[in-house]
Structure 1
Amino acid sequence: MSRPQILIVVAAIALAAAMFFLPKVVVNEDDKNNIAQSETAAVPEGHSEDDGHDHGAEAGAGGTAVHTAATPEQLMELATARAKYNKATDAQARNRLAAELGEAYEKASKYDSAGYYFEIAANARGGEKSYKRAGDAYYEAFTFAATQERANELGAKARGMYEQVLKNNPSDLDAKTNVAMTYIASTNPMQGITLLREVVATDPNNQKALFNLGILSIQSTQYDKAVERFRHLVEVNPSHVEGTFYLAVALAETGEKEEARALFNKVKGMSNDPALAASVDEYLARLN
């Protein structure tokens, strides 16, 4: 994960291990003061470049870049879809092709552009699924935004799409959780915390909300709360690698070294990722 941010809030975890699964985050000093007394929060970050789409200010030089390289086949598909869209003159055809172009951008990991074209299609056809697709693309772009300004912009875009989803389906807890995380990145982080707690109140076993609340607890050095969140998460899903890793981290920080050591060793058997293994080894070295 790249970290070209204003300030990365990971002081609670000194080693690189803590960075392995942490959300991509940035908060400024005012944000830190606003949320210091609660399960505080993460603003996703990433990297940016002009991705070449042609919708003007919606992308611009501050757009979100790919975080994985597009294949030649994906780039060819993207060029073909863009050409078809640009040549279409009928409004109905352009709206249909907007969804195809959005899909091509999504496959090429250019999520801000994907969101833009999915939004065009959603506004034309309506429907919960269309707005959810646009919201998911904007949210993915939001998690890789390179600046606070860009995170705010993309977070607002994602919220706008998800609000359309929740208007028709208030029980879509995935959309609600993503809305919560965009608020956490904004000047109103407590709104995000409130929404996450509402999700857990509705669905106590919601893995995404439990994980995010656990991460926020770690970042605010509320390790006891983090243990509670992650212990519940791994009870719900014993194969949750990230949850197991962070439960071990939280336990290590609360002095429960034996249980933490056992869980770190368990994590090594749950994943073949060499970066994760190296992070676990560093933590185990600290515990010895």
Structure 2
Amino acid sequence: MRKSQWIAAAAAFLLVLVTYWGCPVRPPEFDEGFNRGPVSATGVQSLIREAHTELTPAQKATLATLEERLESQEEDSARVDLLQQLAGEWYKAGKPSISGAYAARIAEIENSEQAWSITATTFSLCLKQEGIDDKTRQFCASQAEQAYQAAISLNPNNPETRINLAVTYTDNPPPDNPMKGILMLREIEQQYPDNPKVYITLAQLALKTNQIERAAERLATADRLDPDNPDVVCPLAKVYENLGRAGEADIYARKCAALLQ
């Protein structure tokens, strides 16, 4: 993918986020206990009560006004607009857990792959926050999983969403199946051997466990599939440097700089 294509793709994704708030076959595990129902009101209300102590008076007033307007609206289009504003306000307040809950309400109305993917991404951002408590982490993990599964059920042929779900499992392993994310990625690799993101993700996981040689192998595979991808080229430069392969590190460092210009 050319640099201009990457820039266009990134801009499009950012535009989607700003607009909202500032496996050809479904794997068996998705059929077991899958339920795309409303987000748990008890969990959300508990998070909102706790978060209110950290809000400024202006933020409280804005949120209260939006909630009042939401209660009086019956048209779906108007409700979606207000839910987007509420999601945006909570996201700006540093609460992606609550922002994701409002995004989920939008997804329940629109029931589209894009809406569920945005919901899942928002909850995934919650999981990347430092210092979140176990209750919030558990809430965000379960809601991210549910949203990713909903998006996959609407488009089972999109490997990107399945990869993102697998990453959620690796970041927050289910207690009864800690290898679930890794096993999912290996299945996706077999089903989509020409998808570079699979190998990029596997390389990132290898680096987390200091398996530098394995990371180099995965990134080299991704580089063969997508030689002008900065998400491949730039990490390869660092990996080769860590492995003491100075010549290759220099080549990829130069290429990385050129791609990022």
Q: Which runs of 4+ in 1 moved over 4 A?
A: 59-63, 78-82
Measured after TM superposition, the shift of residue 80 of structure 1 is 5.9
Q: CA RMSD in A?
A: 3.3
Give the partner amino acid of 1:122: A
Counterpart contact for 2:66–2:86, Cα < 8 Å: no
Q: Report the counterpart of residue 48 of structure 1 in structure 2.
A: none
Q: How does 1:1-288 map to 2 (within 5 A)?
A: 56-59=45-48, 61=50, 83-90=65-72, 92-93=74-75, 95-102=79-86, 104-105=88-89, 108=92, 110-147=95-132, 149=134, 150-188=136-174, 189-271=178-260
Query: How far, CA to CA, are the matches of 1:244 and 1:206 in structure 2?
Result: 16
Structure 1 counterpart SS, 2:161: helix
Query: How far, CA to CA, are the matches of 1:121 and 1:241 in structure 2?
Result: 33
TM-score of the two chains, using structure 2 as the length reference: 0.65
Query: How far, CA to CA, are the matches of 1:230 and 1:103 in structure 2?
Result: 36
Give the partner amino acid of 1:101: Q
Counterpart contact for 1:131–1:161, Cα < 8 Å: yes
Closer/same/farther in 2, CA of residues 163 and 267 from structure 1, 3 Å limit: same
Counterpart contact for 2:236–2:249, Cα < 8 Å: yes
Closer/same/farther in 2, CA of residues 234 and 82 from structure 1, 3 Å limit: farther
TM-score of the two chains, using structure 1 as the length reference: 0.60
Note the alpha carbon deviations across 1:115-149, whole angstroms, 9 max, x for none. 11111222344343332221122122223353472
Measured after TM superposition, the shift of residue 193 of structure 1 is 0.9
Measured after TM superposition, the shift of residue 105 of structure 1 is 3.7
Note the alpha carbon deviations across 1:89-131, whole angstroms, 9 max, x for none. 3463474345322553487475333211111222344343332
Query: How far, CA to CA, are the matches of 2:194 and 2:120 in structure 1?
Result: 24
Query: How far, CA to CA, are the matches of 2:105 and 2:168 in structure 1?
Result: 21
Q: Name the structure with the higher helix share.
A: 2
Higher relative contact order (CA 8 A, sep 6+): 1
Structure 1 counterpart SS, 2:179: helix
Structure 2: 5+ residue stretches without partners: 1-43
Query: How far, CA to CA, are the matches of 1:148 and 1:88 in structure 2?
Result: 29
Closer/same/farther in 2, CA of residues 221 and 84 from structure 1, 3 Å limit: closer
Counterpart contact for 1:98–1:121, Cα < 8 Å: no
Counterpart contact for 1:112–1:137, Cα < 8 Å: yes
Query: How far, CA to CA, are the matches of 2:250 and 2:208 in structure 1?
Result: 21
Identical counterparts, % of pairs: 18
Query: How far, CA to CA, are the matches of 1:159 and 1:120 in structure 2?
Result: 16
Closer/same/farther in 2, CA of residues 84 and 220 from structure 1, 3 Å limit: closer
Aligned length: 207
Counterpart contact for 1:152–1:185, Cα < 8 Å: no
Structure 1 stretch displaced more, 198-207 or 225-234: 198-207
